[in-house]
Structure 1
Amino acid sequence: MMARVRGSVRALVVTCAVLAVLVTTACAFPVDGRAIAGPEVSPGIDPSFVQGTNGGDEDRLAAATLRDLEGYWGRELPQVAGGAPFRPLAGYFSVDPRNRTGAVPVPCLQNPQEVRGTAFYCPSADIIAWDRGELLPQLRRDFGDSAVVVVLSHEFGHAVQGRLDRTGALQGAPTILLEAQADCYAGVFLRQVRDGALPDLRTGAAGIDGAMGALIGFRDPVGTSPRNVQAHGNAFDRVSSFQDGFDGDPDVCQAIGRDRVFTQEAFRSQADESSGGNLGLQPLIDAMVPDLDRWFGGEVRRRGGQWTTPGTERDEATCPDADGAVQGPVAWCATPSAVHIDGSGTLAADHARIGDYATGTLLASRFGTAALAALNRPTAGAEGGRAALCLAGAYSAAVGSGASGFALSPGDLDESVTLLLREDTASRGTDGVAAAGTGYERIRVFRAGVTGGTDACLRGV
């Protein structure tokens, strides 16, 4: 979603301001997005300790998640909290909002119907409640069982926050910061699930992708200000926090502080908001290709390479020495140097369904391939695909700075992570070999470019 702007605009990062607000009820998540397959996580356990349970599959999965969360944090929290023991939560509440009679009263709610479509942690009562009638079944249908695990572990993360905040440092913290910590704690827990370190829950790489698909679906509406008192973060920020926890430990999450940099931002103009920040396919290509040439050419020349502006061809995205369109709908071909774009089929469909920076990410990765060739770096295989994808992230972080003629619109990085979770085309080498088989790894490589720049990509990620 590229927006034309005049002058230099700092495109990507905003640091949230400190708001005089403390979250007193946690998260309410609308379920959105395309289904991302995830395997079964657990057959579940007896949910009789959950108030209001009907004993069904959703609550059995929730019960398994909560018992493993209690066990994990019972062992881990004392190590983070200087020996202070973990205090179990006061209770758990399962509600079917379709049942308007006989629902068990839920602390912090005037009416159990208020839980419809949500899961939340209430710090004043120290309880977690969820909608088992609509929310949990839809999470399982759309993203797999791991989506239920990530939602409940996020809410449990808020309880962990309170137990670790013995000095009141989080009083008045911005909501988006509290949510980032909870996403990070969820990532820590899902790593335990993936590694088979817990008694009840199990999942594989597809389950982790399913959990991340749920986080993407739970992002704030595009254009939400990070200063909004209900802000949870955009998709890029949320999966970044999740991955920080998944690849780290609780200390990493606890260290997330007021200096945390978020990419979420509000629309900067009425025109950008009206279009949703999106350009059509051809206008995007016309606007972006000269900027890609400028930026990648500059990066190559700074490293002593010779840059030749690639041609741009609208065709079937097939190189003369390749058997079919192995790179996907956008391909870089060496002889002569050109970026070939197949504007029909999947490219047009993803452009319309995901947004224009899905196309932008593919274009940037293929210009990244051209830059690798100019620097005599490998362009084929997993190594070439990984470096090209990382360079697409580095370019995305630089858009709007220096001589760039436009800036990323709110939601553009969300479109990148959505594309990368769903398909591997932006991570392919010139021989069609993908750098990674999971959306998790593709997003991790792209993020390495966003945060580390070109140098990180050329060192290897």
Structure 2
Amino acid sequence: MRLDDLDPSSNVRDLGQGGGGGGGLNLLGFLPLLLGRGLGCGTIGVIAVIAIAFMMFSGGGGLLTGGSQAPTTQQGSAQGNVPCDTAEELFACRVLASTEQVWGQIFQQQGQRYPAPTLNFYQRGAQSGCGAAQSAMGPFYCPPDRGVYLDTSFFRELSQKFGARGDFAQAYVVAHEVGHHIQNLTGQAEAVSRAQQTLPKAQGNAQSVRLELQADCYAGVWGKRSGRMEPGDLQEGLTAAEAIGDDTLQGSSASPETFTHGTSAQRAYWLKRGYDTGDPAQCDTFSGAI
């Protein structure tokens, strides 16, 4: 991706190792699993389906619509740490800046202002507005503080463990979590949470799948409209999407009713659909088959 000429976003914080920030709900430390264990690597976030309603209506629910006011967060340094000061962080900061440009334009075309999320870097552990953050969770989005949380060591894991190499594979990580921020602003995340309270577990999981696939599609929309893609970038993203499908991660023990993020084929399809169309209106994963 061509990002070198782009100033990094200022909506970033570096929480350091076990850093502060966020605070807030701390509901047993597992609420960061909400809206997916990020991209779905590692342990499948079955707990998320159980926890979603608990979180949304135990203090965070009112923050899930675009008109709600998120808690104020201080941008820049935290505990003496400087954000965007490593190659991995600088890359992610520039990706975030590009998402701000793209989604800002999309919202402006609809007569709305785009409130950007905050990208929070941390190492190994930190506190988020949803409770404890740990590297093993992977990247995630926390609705109450409108924060994306990322330990950049995940980029190495994505490359080395899952064979998803390249800069767009890493950009996809950030753009997917920003996709969850869009769902937070539009109210789609809240709609899913409400539906899941009355659905059987398997059907609730299916709603989570649709939410994750839509975030993949939004990541593709950003890639297309960013104007910064280079030959081979899309394939890098598709490889990453395929590597972290539920069926691939679960292997021979795959059980569709437990899927919470979508199959490899579904994730690649919706990422590419977003890229091919460049239109968020084409990311409706809640109508018809997926």
TM-score bracket, shorter-length normalisation: 0.5 to 0.7
The structural deviation recorded for 1:168 is 5.1
Q: Deviations over 1:308-349 (max 9, x none)?
A: xxxxxxxxxxxxxxxxxxxxxxxxxxxxxxxxxxxxxxxxxx
Gaps of 5+ in 2: 1-32, 43-74, 197-206
Structure 1 pair 239/60, CA: closer, same or farther in 2 (3 Å)? same
> Would you say how many aligned residue pairs link Structure 1 and Structure 2?
203
Tell me if structure 1 keeps the 8 A contact 2:35–2:212: no
The structural deviation recorded for 1:164 is 1.7
1:300 aligned partner = none
2:135 aligned partner = 115
1:55-454 matches, within 5 Å, as: 55-79=85-109, 82-89=110-117, 91-97=118-124, 105-110=127-132, 112=133, 114-116=134-136, 118-132=138-152, 134-139=153-158, 142=163, 143-165=165-187, 169-170=191-192, 171-172=194-195, 174-193=207-226, 197=227, 202-220=228-246, 221-222=250-251, 224-228=254-258, 231-248=260-277, 249-253=279-283, 255-261=284-290
Tell me if structure 2 keeps the 8 A contact 1:187–1:246: yes
Tell me if structure 2 keeps the 8 A contact 1:117–1:131: no
Q: Are 1:27 and 2:33 counterparts?
A: no
Which residue identity lines up with residue 178 of structure 1 in the other structure?
L
Which residue identity lines up with residue 176 of structure 1 in the other structure?
V
Q: In structure 1, what is the Cα distance between the partners aligned to 2:137 and 2:231? A: 27
Q: In structure 2, what is the Cα distance between the partners aligned to 1:181 and 1:166? A: 10
TM-score normalised by the chain length of structure 1: 0.40
Structure 1 pair 233/167, CA: closer, same or farther in 2 (3 Å)? closer
Q: In structure 2, what is the Cα distance between the partners aligned to 1:96 and 1:257? A: 35
State the secondary structure of the residue aligned to 1:177.
Answer: helix
Q: In structure 2, what is the Cα distance between the partners aligned to 1:185 and 1:129? A: 18
Tell me if structure 1 keeps the 8 A contact 2:96–2:174: yes
User: Structure 1 stretches (4+) deviating beyond 6 angstroms?
Assistant: none
Tell me if structure 1 keeps the 8 A contact 2:168–2:233: yes
Q: Deviations over 1:230-289 (max 9, x none)?
A: 610111010111111111111101x2214233xxxxxxxxxxxxxxxxxxxxxxxxxxxx
Tell me if structure 2 keeps the 8 A contact 1:177–1:258: no
Tell me if structure 2 keeps the 8 A contact 1:92–1:129: yes
Q: In structure 1, what is the Cα distance between the partners aligned to 2:166 and 2:106? A: 27
Q: In structure 2, what is the Cα distance between the partners aligned to 1:183 and 1:105? A: 26
Gaps of 5+ in 1: 1-22, 32-47, 98-102, 262-461
Of structures 1 and 2, the one with the larger relative CO (CA 8 A, separation 6+) is: 2
Structure 1 or 2, whichever has the larger Rg, is: 1
The structural deviation recorded for 1:161 is 1.0
State the secondary structure of the residue aligned to 2:150.
Answer: strand
Structure 1 pair 84/237, CA: closer, same or farther in 2 (3 Å)? same
Which residue identity lines up with residue 244 of structure 2 in the other structure?
F
Which residue identity lines up with residue 61 of structure 1 in the other structure?
F
The RMSD of aligned alpha carbons is: 2.6
Higher helix share: 2
Q: In structure 1, what is the Cα distance between the partners aligned to 2:131 and 2:189? A: 28
Tell me if structure 2 keeps the 8 A contact 1:139–1:145: no
Structure 1 pair 251/54, CA: closer, same or farther in 2 (3 Å)? closer
